[in-house]
Structure 1
Amino acid sequence: MEFLLSSAFDQISSYDPASVRRGLRHIEGLLAHLCRPYTSASTSPLPSKSDRPSPGGIDTRVADDPAYREFLRLQEGFEWNRAVALRLVACLERLLGQESNDLTTLLILSTLDLLQGVLLVHPPSRRVFAREVNMTILLDLLEPQSSPAAIQGATVNTLVCALVEEWPNVRTFEALDGLESICTLFKRKDTDKEVKLRILEFLFFYLIPEPQATQSSSSSTSHHHAKTKNASPSEDGWSGSSNASGYGHVVRTTQEKQRMLGKYLSNVESLVNELRQSQPFGNLMI
């Protein structure tokens, strides 16, 4: 697996589209193998309720797969720590700097699809987006002037995969004016209807209350957020590693998020009411 990944990384680091395409296909083949149901003599064809993966955790039904164990070992090691996600983000950055054409668009879409897969197969890889430099690349892909509708929609999906249950990533997204970017795209008359639907789904997802965020925290959160933004890395417990963020200790209620979104959208209250009534993510005590 190390040889396969090394070869794929060399190829997606190239400026030759054909090489990038081959490298992406190698990674796609690996992820496809990891996502196959793994069966052995000791596994039951029908998993019990206790075998279901916990949110953000490792799926115990496939953890016995030798290939999956090897992938986890590499991703958690020093040399390969979150390597697949980081290399795919770097590939996106290079593709953004190339001439915009149909081939570049296809390569960006393939990279985004693979990035979504990695973030779902290996949840700890989501932490690379606590770093502003990595989050900025996704936000750049939302620019209406430089990205076609297909890329915008795929980027919104990737953002969900990057932010789910990673509250430091959400704070980084907010600090980089991600809400303004995504709401501006939503309000543009020329934005594709499918993209607007994806953004609407994203806004429902964003408004979910965060764990341990209570009404009483509303008065202290803004003060603490300002403090963490101005604090040095040592004051905030942030060593500058790829899985850390200066905003990691801040959590928000739905009401706080509603006020933040209200700066850019006029109908946020109706979104919150719809979230309460339809409960697409279950009973969240909003």
Structure 2
Amino acid sequence: MASPRRLVSEIIAGLSSASYPRIVHAIDTLEKYLVSLVPSIELHSKDARLSAFLGLQDSFQYNLVAACLDAHAFFRANPTLVDPIHILAANQCMCGLLLIHSDSRKLFARRSNMALVLSLLDKLSPLWRPDVCVSVLSLLVHILLKSAPNLRVFEALQGLKSVSQHLYVTDDPLCDASGQDLSLKVVEFFIFYLTDERGLEGEARSVESKAQILQPEFSGIDDLLRNLEDLTILKTDQHEQTRA
């Protein structure tokens, strides 16, 4: 079996290439490699193999999230060559990578990287599909999680507008049931966006401040806030009953 350094180098070479078949092969290899790491991750055991992998991710030269962004840049530049299933696979890999190596989120404090991800939500793009957008929203949650700098870049690039335009996508005659899934995912994303940022490093915003930013993009913000407040009260009551 190849060493982690050699395998990661081979995957990065594929993801960063100008050959679609090589990119697809690299995504497939990365998927299998991440699956092979699951037992160690689930046991919270940093064995030698997992430790070596995480150490490599600390280096930009071997960072796989950065390489996945190279693949996305190829997808955007060559939409007629791309099967959306490979965009879905790349997004899933990035979610997994961000889960096990949270420092890779720092890559998205760069506007160009955040903009590349948001471009996948462009309804005028040849790559646009409801299922792709659902996967992008899941990826954005992993990118923005516990990162005030990334949230501020997301806001500056009109990320909320990019997301909100898909709230009523079910009205589009070109959409099937996946359009409803997308609309629900948008609401879930807004709930995530409105989480409290207290304790985060950087320019943190209050829930009230974020609600004001979201208001122009989502007319149902007041109802959503009331539901979230009711849910918080319910959870608090349940917690107190459990303690009693």
Report the TM range for the smaller structure's normalisation.
0.7 to 0.9
Q: Does 1:62 align with 2:53?
A: no
Q: Secondary structure at the match of 2:197?
A: coil
Report sequence identity in percent: 25
Contact 2:40 2:50 in 1 (8 A): no
| TM-score w.r.t. length of structure 2 | 0.85
* 1:94-173 alignment, distance < 5 Å: 94-100=74-80, 103-146=82-125, 147-173=128-154
3-state SS in 2 of match to 1:61: coil
Q: Which runs of 5+ in 1 are unaligned?
A: 39-58, 214-247
Alignment of 1:189-268 (within 5 A): 189-190=171-172, 192-212=179-199, 249-268=202-221
> Could you give the per-residue CA deviations for residues 253-285 of structure 1, whole angstroms, max 9, x where no partner exists?
1111111111112110111111122249x66xx
Kindly state the Cα deviation for residue 185 of structure 1 after the two structures are TM-superposed. 2.1
Helix, strand or coil at the partner of 1:186: coil
Pick the aligned partner of 2:19 from 16, 23, 32: 16
* 1:76 partner letter: D
* AA at the equivalent of 2:24: R
CA RMSD of aligned residues (A): 2.1
- Count of residues paired in the alignment: 224
C-alpha displacement at 1:37, in angstroms? Answer: 4.1
Q: Secondary structure at the match of 2:216?
A: coil
Q: Please list the CA deviations of residues 82-105 of structure 1 after superposition, one character each: whole Å capped at 9, or x if unmatched.
A: x1110001111111111336x431
The alignment status of 1:176 with 2:157, answered yes or no, reads: yes
**Deviations 1:93-140, CA, capped at 9 Å, x for gaps:** 111111336x43121111111011100111111111111100001110
How far did 1:154 drift?
Answer: 0.3
Would you say the 8 A contact 1:98–1:104 is kept in 2? no
- On the 8 A contact 1:21/1:107 being kept in 2, the answer is yes
Conserved? CA contact 1:95–1:104, under 8 Å = no
Cα distance in 2 for partners of 1:99, 1:60 equals 40
Structure 1 position 209, deviation (Å): 1.3
Contact 2:60 2:66 in 1 (8 A): no
CA distance in 2, matches of 1:149, 1:275: 26
Match of 1:92 among 67, 72, 95: 72
| Cα distance change, pair 104–97 in 1 and its aligned pair in 2 (3 A) | farther
Distance in 2 separating the partners of 1:112 and 1:128: 15
Separation in structure 1 between the aligned mates of residue 213 and residue 80 of structure 2, nearest angstrom: 34
Distance 1:166 1:96 in 2: 26
Give unmatched runs, 5+ long, in structure 2: 237-244
